[in-house]
Amino acid sequence: MKANNYISKTEHKLLLIVTLLAFIVSIAGSVAYTIKDENERQAFYREQEENKAQNNIVFAGPYCFPDRHPQVLFSIILLVGATFFSLLFTKRYLLSFLFTIASLTRFFYWFVDTRRQMFDEVSDFVKGADRFFYKAGLFDLAVLFLVSILLFWQISILLRMLMKTLQRKTELP
């Protein structure tokens, strides 16, 4: 792991640690969501079996609209992982910057999709972070925070690289 001349090796290692932390937290968020979703689904099916045994009304499924959350989480995991591996194996900060921006656009898509669901009146009364990111957990918000830190950190690195490049003047003979 060799950092380029514009950033110290310590700063590069810290950047890698923050990116790895974001990658691990995004995986943990996906696992936590899957466990929570499976528990809710099993509780719904148990309730429907009880209703069926009592000759009450039975519903076919727990969702009125498709749940896009697993696909969004998977794409965020891939993009944050790509950011980590691009920082680990290359000295090009522009590539990792593009992956970071792409992962933030997934959060933006999540926000827009949440707003659309709220206006469709398909979802029930929501509060807290669900108003902005539907079905977001603490892990998801931590990933958003860490990726935002990465974005600003990478912008500062790229600006330093640009300023040092522009400060190099060629001497006229």
What angle, rounded to 10 degrees, do the helices at 138-167 and 9-53 form? 160
Which tens digits make up the pLDDT trace of 108-150? 887 777 777 776 655 556 665 555 666 777 788 888 899 999 9
For the entire predicted model, the pTM comes to: 0.76
**Would you list the domain boundaries of the chain?**
9-164
Q: How far is Cα 173 from Cα 171, in angstroms, rounded to an integer? A: 6
